[in-house]
A and B are shown apart, each in its own frame.
Chain A
Amino acid sequence: MAKVLMKGNEAIGKAAIEAGCRFFFGYPITPQSELPEYLSEELPKVGGTFVQAESEVAAINMVYGAAAAGARALTSSSSPGVALKQEGIGYITNADLPAVIVNMMRGGPGLGTIQPGQADYRMCVKGGSNGDYHNIVLAPSSVQEAVDMVMEAFDLADCYRTPVIILSDGLIGQMMEPVDFHYAPKRELPPKDWALTGKGDGQKHMIVNLNMDAEDCENHNIQLQKKYVEIEQKEQQWEEYCMDDAEYAFVSYGTSARITKSAIDTLRKEGYKVGLIRPKTLYPFPKEAFKGKNIKKYMDIEMSMGQMVEDVQLACNDVNKVVFFGRCGGIILTPEEVVEFAKSVIGGDK
């Protein structure tokens, strides 16, 4: 299929349809509203259902119902809206249900700004709902990768019966890039024999969220942790850019990472041996990428005040090796300031 030039938000919508998603529940918020707008038009054409919910809270609980009923369901929002969805995300997680949640981040906290940001790392990667849990978190760095990741997200969700969050930002949502759509499932997906479909003549199905007995609840948590161990073993994804001879490495994801790549191109021309480890999965964090590397400093670059730093420190197992530079509040990093920061770290050590 020939490539088309599409806005990130719309491309994500198309990717969801290509991946077999037929149910979207959402609420308008800048900078992701093109996604529900697109799906309101396109889902009915393929026999799907678009519901504009009364709130983000309702939207995620509609996803909970649709997922329980066995469907591939999607909701999307941006930072303050995703904060509202945390209740439902916890319920879906606890009920072992698959769902995909898109977060086109903007600067926070609170109402913050409508401009792009990456300040929801902690909320989405560490868990913004109550309880011991993780969600798989994918961080696309281009519109094409957003498309590919949305498709994979539905498979990951079905495979592990867990919510998967696409953690992107307003820039990827608003910008246009060439994309094509190839849905090629890589995983064997288990049958949804637990779904609520009416019991017919068989046994009834229950999707439960309450364990009155503490031991039952602990056992359920132990099962969840087993799932996370498997996810951490099997699903770490990252990209390395110019890492072969790198002595200093940037660590950056999503929009920040592509800006950092521009900075690396400049620095390399000037003889600096810099590279990039770009986590594509934020949970599981790609710790494997840091193994066996001989790096003098890791330079964490984010559009936040450093929410990923602790994960980088743990991954390289050296608190002192990690330095940070970021902008926040909706300011998009420039390659020039990343270059300047790197030079201040590296000094004359070319």
Chain B
Amino acid sequence: MSTQRVCCAGFGGQGVLSMGKLLAYAGMLDGKEVSWCPSYGPEMRGGTANCSIVVSDEPVGSPVITADATASIVMNQPSYDKFVKIVGSGGTIIINSSLVEKKVERDDVKAYYVPANEMAKELGNPKLANIILLGALLEVDNTVTEESVLNAFTKVFGENKAKFIPINKEALAKGAEYVRNQK
């Protein structure tokens, strides 16, 4: 039995919630039990945003992750302390090093630093930073398959966004490639 418990955190507008939805939807397409649980409230307008995703072989108990996450994706500095701490021993932390200067001081987790904003600019669309980071996670964590993420794309964003699948596929690959060398 395996259960992946992933937190995504950053600013509202960085695509934190939709990145999580892609992960959850992909898990569902892979035949897993999944849940996606957002923080909600006034802070979702321009403040910090985060969501918890559980992908499991078993029915999901608590959908809220308060400890022992298997992975965190941290997209900005204000999310850093909470979402580094939330990862359990042996877990994975993907850090957007474009906006986060700190380095993880824990030695019981594996941290990867990805300059996602710069990489997204290189791809021609700053909005792809979240997808690059997701690609990095998939490379080191095997939570879901890349194929399922791409299949989930139109489910999450709508059929009219299908034309963006190739560029998102490229972004996933960039993120994966970047951390492959850090493994």
Contact = CB atoms under 8 A, between A and B. Distances in A.
Interface stretch (A16-24, A173-181, A306-314): A173-181
A11 B119 CA distance: 37
B25 interface: yes
B35 interface: yes
Contacts of A5: 21, 24-25, 28, 34, 36, 155
Contact of A114 (B28, B33, B34, B41): B41
B67 interface: yes
Contacts of A260: 61
B21 A176 contact: yes
Given A3-B28, A5-B24, A176-B24, A334 B37 contact: no
A251 interface: no
A259 interface: yes
Contacts of A263: 61
B155 A177 contact: no
Contacts of A227: none
Contacts of A4: 155
B61 A335 contact: yes
Interface in A238-277: 258-263, 265
B40 A258 contact: no
B28 A178 contact: yes
Interface footprint category on B: 20 to 34
A259 B36 contact: no
A30 interface: yes
Interface string B66-84: 1100000000000000000
Nearest to B156: A5
Contacts of A31: 40
A336 interface: yes
A259 B62 contact: yes
Nearest to A337: B66
Contact of B61 (A3, A170, A258): A258
A171 interface: yes
B155 A334 contact: no
B153 to A, nearest CB: 13
Given A258-B61, A332-B64, A176 B41 contact: no
Contacts of B64: 171, 259, 332, 334
Contacts of B66: 332, 334, 336
A258 B33 CA distance: 14
B155 A335 contact: no
Contacts of B59: 142, 261
A231 B51 CA distance: 40
A49 interface: no
Contact of B37 (A114, A175, A265): A175
A334 B63 CA distance: 10
A115 interface: yes
B40 A262 contact: no
B38 interface: yes
B167 interface: no
A57 B40 CA distance: 26
B114 to A, nearest CB: 26
B162 interface: no
A247 B67 CA distance: 28
Contacts of B33: 178
B89 to A, nearest CB: 15
B41 A30 contact: yes
Contacts of A142: 59-60
B21 to A, nearest CB: 7
Contacts of A258: 60-63
A334 B61 CA distance: 11
Contact of B67 (A3, A176, A336): A336
Contacts of A335: 61-62
Contacts of A332: 64, 66
A142 B60 CA distance: 9
B48 to A, nearest CB: 15
Given A5-B24, A171-B64, A261-B59, 18 more contacts: A3-B28, A5-B21, A5-B34, A5-B155, A30-B40, A114-B40, A114-B41, A115-B41, A142-B60, A175-B35, A175-B37, A177-B63, A258-B61, A259-B64, A261-B61, A262-B62, A334-B62, A336-B67
Interface of B: 21, 24-25, 28, 33-38, 40-41, 59-64, 66-67, 155
What 4 A-B pairs come out closest when comparing CB atoms? A262-B61, A176-B36, A175-B37, A259-B62
14 contacts: A3-B28, A5-B21, A5-B34, A5-B36, A170-B40, A174-B37, A174-B38, A175-B35, A175-B37, A175-B38, A178-B28, A262-B62, A334-B64, A336-B66
